[in-house]
Amino acid sequence: MGIIAVSHLAVGVTDMDRSLEFYRDFLGLRVTSDWVQEFTDFTTQQPVRRRTAWLRWGEGPHDSALVLDQMISPASADRRSELFDLGTHHFSFWVDDIDAILRDAERRDVPLLFPHTADSKDYGEPEGGKIRSVFMRDPDGNFVQVDQRA
Protein backbone atom coordinates (compact mmCIF):
# COMPACT_ATOMS: atom_id res chain seq x y z
CA MET A 1 0.00 0.00 0.00
CA GLY A 2 1.33 3.43 -0.91
CA ILE A 3 0.36 6.90 -1.99
CA ILE A 4 -0.22 7.23 -5.73
CA ALA A 5 -0.83 10.98 -5.97
CA VAL A 6 -2.44 13.94 -4.23
CA SER A 7 -6.22 13.58 -4.69
CA HIS A 8 -7.13 17.25 -4.26
CA LEU A 9 -6.40 20.50 -2.44
CA ALA A 10 -9.40 22.40 -1.06
CA VAL A 11 -9.34 26.19 -0.83
CA GLY A 12 -12.02 28.31 0.84
CA VAL A 13 -13.07 31.36 -1.18
CA THR A 14 -15.49 34.23 -0.60
CA ASP A 15 -16.60 34.84 -4.20
CA MET A 16 -16.64 31.79 -6.49
CA ASP A 17 -17.01 33.72 -9.73
CA ARG A 18 -14.06 35.99 -8.90
CA SER A 19 -11.98 32.97 -7.87
CA LEU A 20 -12.86 31.12 -11.08
CA GLU A 21 -11.57 34.11 -13.04
CA PHE A 22 -8.23 33.66 -11.25
CA TYR A 23 -7.86 29.87 -11.31
CA ARG A 24 -9.68 29.10 -14.58
CA ASP A 25 -9.15 32.18 -16.73
CA PHE A 26 -5.73 33.32 -15.46
CA LEU A 27 -4.00 30.06 -14.42
CA GLY A 28 -5.78 27.92 -17.02
CA LEU A 29 -7.33 25.19 -14.87
CA ARG A 30 -10.32 23.35 -16.34
CA VAL A 31 -13.61 23.29 -14.36
CA THR A 32 -14.98 19.73 -14.26
CA SER A 33 -17.89 20.41 -11.89
CA ASP A 34 -19.51 23.37 -10.17
CA TRP A 35 -22.58 22.92 -7.96
CA VAL A 36 -24.23 23.80 -4.66
CA GLN A 37 -23.94 21.02 -2.11
CA GLU A 38 -25.93 20.50 1.09
CA PHE A 39 -24.81 18.12 3.83
CA THR A 40 -24.31 17.77 7.59
CA ASP A 41 -20.91 18.89 8.87
CA PHE A 42 -19.32 15.77 10.35
CA THR A 43 -17.48 17.83 13.00
CA THR A 44 -20.37 20.00 14.28
CA GLN A 45 -23.41 18.05 13.03
CA GLN A 46 -24.79 21.35 11.69
CA PRO A 47 -26.29 21.75 8.20
CA VAL A 48 -23.90 23.14 5.61
CA ARG A 49 -24.60 24.67 2.24
CA ARG A 50 -21.71 25.48 -0.06
CA ARG A 51 -20.87 26.06 -3.70
CA THR A 52 -18.02 23.83 -4.73
CA ALA A 53 -16.06 23.79 -7.99
CA TRP A 54 -13.52 21.14 -9.00
CA LEU A 55 -10.71 22.30 -11.28
CA ARG A 56 -8.20 20.02 -12.99
CA TRP A 57 -5.14 20.25 -15.20
CA GLY A 58 -4.93 16.58 -16.24
CA GLU A 59 -7.34 13.86 -17.24
CA GLY A 60 -6.02 10.65 -15.71
CA PRO A 61 -7.82 8.72 -12.96
CA HIS A 62 -5.20 9.78 -10.38
CA ASP A 63 -4.56 13.34 -11.58
CA SER A 64 -4.88 15.88 -8.80
CA ALA A 65 -7.56 18.56 -8.52
CA LEU A 66 -8.04 21.92 -6.87
CA VAL A 67 -11.41 22.32 -5.14
CA LEU A 68 -12.80 25.80 -4.48
CA ASP A 69 -15.40 26.02 -1.70
CA GLN A 70 -17.60 29.07 -1.12
CA MET A 71 -19.63 28.69 2.04
CA ILE A 72 -23.25 29.82 1.72
CA SER A 73 -24.24 28.81 5.25
CA PRO A 74 -22.84 28.99 7.80
CA ALA A 75 -20.53 31.87 6.89
CA SER A 76 -16.82 31.08 6.74
CA ALA A 77 -14.50 32.22 9.47
CA ASP A 78 -12.02 34.77 8.13
CA ARG A 79 -8.70 33.19 9.12
CA ARG A 80 -6.01 33.32 6.46
CA SER A 81 -2.51 31.99 6.94
CA GLU A 82 0.53 34.08 6.35
CA LEU A 83 3.38 32.59 4.38
CA PHE A 84 5.18 29.96 6.47
CA ASP A 85 2.47 29.79 9.16
CA LEU A 86 1.59 26.38 10.55
CA GLY A 87 -0.66 24.29 8.34
CA THR A 88 -0.95 24.74 4.61
CA HIS A 89 0.41 28.19 3.87
CA HIS A 90 0.76 27.97 0.08
CA PHE A 91 0.56 25.59 -2.85
CA SER A 92 2.35 25.56 -6.16
CA PHE A 93 1.75 24.45 -9.73
CA TRP A 94 4.30 23.35 -12.32
CA VAL A 95 3.79 25.42 -15.47
CA ASP A 96 5.22 25.18 -18.96
CA ASP A 97 5.49 28.94 -19.68
CA ILE A 98 6.10 31.12 -16.63
CA ASP A 99 6.81 34.14 -18.86
CA ALA A 100 3.26 33.99 -20.25
CA ILE A 101 1.91 33.94 -16.69
CA LEU A 102 4.10 36.91 -15.75
CA ARG A 103 2.82 38.89 -18.76
CA ASP A 104 -0.81 37.95 -18.08
CA ALA A 105 -0.42 38.83 -14.39
CA GLU A 106 0.73 42.32 -15.36
CA ARG A 107 -2.21 42.70 -17.77
CA ARG A 108 -4.67 41.59 -15.04
CA ASP A 109 -2.99 43.62 -12.26
CA VAL A 110 -2.17 40.47 -10.28
CA PRO A 111 0.69 41.47 -7.96
CA LEU A 112 3.70 39.16 -8.22
CA LEU A 113 5.75 38.42 -5.14
CA PHE A 114 9.35 37.23 -4.99
CA PRO A 115 10.07 36.21 -8.58
CA HIS A 116 13.28 34.21 -8.40
CA THR A 117 15.32 31.29 -9.69
CA ALA A 118 16.07 28.50 -7.23
CA ASP A 119 18.36 25.50 -7.29
CA SER A 120 16.54 22.18 -7.63
CA LYS A 121 18.00 21.13 -4.24
CA ASP A 122 15.65 23.71 -2.70
CA TYR A 123 12.82 21.48 -3.99
CA GLY A 124 14.24 18.34 -2.40
CA GLU A 125 15.76 17.19 -5.68
CA PRO A 126 19.37 16.58 -6.71
CA GLU A 127 21.43 19.75 -6.95
CA GLY A 128 22.17 21.31 -10.30
CA GLY A 129 18.83 22.05 -11.92
CA LYS A 130 17.30 25.51 -11.94
CA ILE A 131 13.65 26.32 -11.25
CA ARG A 132 12.05 29.70 -11.98
CA SER A 133 9.35 30.62 -9.51
CA VAL A 134 6.98 33.38 -8.47
CA PHE A 135 4.40 33.79 -5.71
CA MET A 136 1.10 35.66 -5.96
CA ARG A 137 -2.11 35.90 -3.97
CA ASP A 138 -5.47 34.71 -5.21
CA PRO A 139 -8.49 37.05 -4.84
CA ASP A 140 -8.96 35.92 -1.22
CA GLY A 141 -5.33 36.42 -0.26
CA ASN A 142 -4.22 32.77 -0.39
CA PHE A 143 -0.61 32.33 -1.52
CA VAL A 144 -0.22 30.57 -4.87
CA GLN A 145 3.15 29.79 -6.44
CA VAL A 146 4.02 28.75 -9.99
CA ASP A 147 7.26 26.99 -10.96
CA GLN A 148 8.97 26.16 -14.24
CA ARG A 149 12.12 24.16 -14.80
CA ALA A 150 14.70 26.47 -16.38
Q: Which residue has the higher pLDDT, 2 or 52?
A: 52
Higher model confidence: residue 78 or residue 8?
A: 8
Query: Does residue 38 sit within a domain?
Result: yes
| Average pLDDT over every residue of 80-90 | 80
Identify whether residues 57 and 109 lie together within a single domain.
no
Task: Name the pTM for this structure.
Answer: 0.88
Question: Could you report the per-residue pLDDT of 17-43, keeping only the tens digit for each?
Answer: 999 999 999 999 999 999 999 988 888
Residues in the chain: 150
E strand segments, 41-104: 47-56, 65-73, 91-94
Query: What does the alpha-carbon distance between residue 8 and residue 108 come to, in Å, rounded to a whole number?
Result: 27
- Which domain covers residue 36, as residue numbers? 8-73
Structural domain total, the chain: 2
Position 30 scores a pLDDT of 97
Predicted confidence (pLDDT) at residue 97 exceeds the cutoff of 90: yes
